[in-house]
Chain A
Amino acid sequence: MPLNIVVCVKQVPDSWAEKKLNEADKTLDRASADPVMNELDEYGIEEALRLQEAHGGQVTILCMGPEKAGETIRKALSMGADDAIHVVDDALHGSDAVATSAALAAALGTVEFDLVILGSESTDARMSVVPAMLAERLQLPQMTFAKKVDADPDARTLTIQRQTDDGYDVVQSSLPAIVSVVEKINEPRYPSFKGIMAAKKKPVATLSLTELSIEPATVGLAGAWSGVNAFEQRPPRQAGTVITDEGDGGTKIADFLVTQKFL
């Protein structure tokens, strides 16, 4: 049996760049760094494509974000996904994780799926809560932090290895389910030239809040259930001592650790 998969992707500021907050509304300054696809989402797409290669079915990209996020959607399609849904609405700016999960859950209500796959964390907010929130909202099995995914579409079952601090848990559920993946699960492919050309013709449906029956006041900055009161730059760390090893570097560090009472 084929396996229909939705992969959620997010556009984030480049994780190798310094980030800052906007003075005006205290949200992330997304203009100060190049927008890229959240890296862990590439692993989600890769896993979906591998499952598709094994079982058949459709891979649909779901992305909530401003117009600009269309670039991230194209990248996802150029990796090999079939089509995409872009949830775009100015009222979504500044949405917290609770509202984001509500919008994504509503969008997922418009498609048939066996699996939803997400990256386990975005590199901007780094809360790592949206996959669990989606499981909560959709009342589906929470199969998160997967480092290995095995689906059996005929038996309608799913088995994952859930990464833990000291190893992994083997977790089983029925389908459909919500999966989040960690970095070690696979090695994402690069879009091929053919893939990039094909992506230009793949369908991208847009959905507004009205189409999702979501009241604009319940999302965005104004609808957030938590908010930033204030922020400040941390004073830079005081410059420490840097010496060049002259055969006694290890001893010098030990001396330092003694002065700091670590030894």
Chain B
Amino acid sequence: MSAEIVVLVEHTNGVVKKVSFELLTLAARHGSPSAVIIGAGAEQAMADVVRYGAAKVYVANDAALTTSVVGPKVAILNQLVTSASPAAVLIPSTAEGKEIAGRLAVRSGSGVITDAVDIEDGIVAVQSVFGGSTIVRSSVTTGTPIITVRPNSTTPVEAAGAGEHVAVTAELAPSDTAAVITDHVVEAKGGRPELSEAATVVSGGRGVGSPEGFDVIEKLADSLNAAVGASRAATDSGFYPHQYQVGQTGKTVSPQLYIALGISGAIQHRAGMQTSKTIVAVNKDPEAPIFELADFGVVGDLFAVGPQLTQEIATRKG
């Protein structure tokens, strides 16, 4: 029986996010995957994680555990680090996931590595840093390796697991519930996939020129069921909301397909998208650095090329 690898499942009311299946697949390569599901809907999420290989499922089905900022999740994971002595804890490399990992590291006396894109034998974390220009291999040398893994790093593989159900009761310290979430406000528009998880991202930059100009970006994104991103120049100019910024001061994405329209490709932006599998760029300036990255580039006006592409996609999809 190989050592457990604990995977924190990210879900919304029982609807499991794809990154969780990716982490279970990764965990199965290095040990026995155990899923941890916390919050309302945990029971509903159970079948899905078992389908992706969970040998054990730790369930803390209590809505109160998600009404405080990260503390209760840290407490539960710390309990499992103590009781199950796992070979590693894997957490999705989202904003919240990294915070959970950081606190768990301090609480459990463990080293932490964030933003891994792969895990190799011996629990070696592979990271892609400096905008993807450098590949780093790191290990945790003290305590239990706590590693956050970026979405889209692994292809999830279905493989039915034993799915042993283990109920967990959280033992909370007062500070675990000191930051209370009183309201959840959804601002997202149009039901598009989440930027960090999306298989395809369509981004606009300075060249889009105005908030209205992003209409072209959104239409193209919707034709591909893609998320919409924006460069720093575009968010700073108020063309598109800040939370959609891709780059060093924004989100890091690694989709299968990244389409950049009117983005020059400064290091600031490249740092957030350079590890995308396939990159397509449209820019007026033939000297734009984005073309050095692009698998396919078109020197031209995004307001001509973009709508034509949207039309072509609609036609070809029939």
Given contacts A240-B294, A240-B295, contact A245 B305 (CB under 8 A): yes
Instruction: State the 9 A-B residue pairs at the shortest beta-carbon distance, nearest first.
Output: A245-B300, A250-B308, A129-B102, A225-B111, A226-B111, A167-B187, A250-B309, A254-B312, A225-B142
Contact with A226, one of B71, B139, B196, B256 (Cβ below 8 angstroms):
B139
* Minimal beta-carbon separation of B15 from chain A (angstroms): 13
**A166 in contact with B188 (CB, 8 Å):** yes
Residue of B nearest to A123 (CB): B248
Residues on the B chain within 8 Å of A132, using CB: 70, 98-100, 102-103
Q: How many residues of B are in contact with the other chain, CB < 8 A?
A: 99
CB contacts (< 8 Å) of B282 on chain A: these are 249, 253
Name the prevailing secondary structure of the A interface residues: mixed
Residue positions of B touching A, CB distance < 8 A: 69-71, 74, 94-95, 98-103, 105-107, 110-115, 124, 128, 130, 132-143, 145, 173-175, 178-188, 194-196, 200, 224, 241-243, 245, 248-250, 252, 256-257, 259, 266-268, 271, 278-280, 282, 286, 291-301, 304-313, 316-317
Per a CB cutoff under 8 Å, which of B294, B295, B306 touches A250?
A: B306
Q: Count CB-based A-B contacts (< 8 Å).
A: 291
Q: How far is the CB of B307 from chain A (nearest CB, A)?
A: 7
Q: Is there contact, CB below 8 Å, between A21 and B134?
A: yes
Contact indicator B136/A244 (Cβ below 8 Å): no
CA distance A183 to B200 in the complex (A): 25
Q: Name A12-39 residues within 8 Å CB distance of B.
A: 15-21, 39
Partner of A39 from B140, B186, B249 at Cβ < 8 Å: B249
Q: Assess the A245–B304 pair: CB atoms within 8 A.
A: yes
Residues on A with beta carbons closer than 8 Å to the beta carbon of B280:
253, 256-257
**Could you tell me the distance in whole angstroms from the C-beta of A47 to the nearest C-beta in chain B?**
15
Interface string of A99-131 (1 = CB under 8 A from B): 001000000000000000000110100111111
Interface size class of A (residues with CB under 8 A): 35 or more
> Mind listing 29 A-B residue pairs with CB under 8 Å?
A16-B266, A17-B267, A20-B133, A39-B249, A96-B111, A97-B102, A128-B99, A129-B105, A132-B70, A133-B105, A142-B69, A163-B95, A165-B194, A165-B243, A169-B69, A172-B180, A183-B242, A225-B111, A226-B141, A228-B137, A229-B138, A230-B136, A233-B133, A233-B135, A237-B279, A242-B291, A245-B300, A248-B308, A253-B312
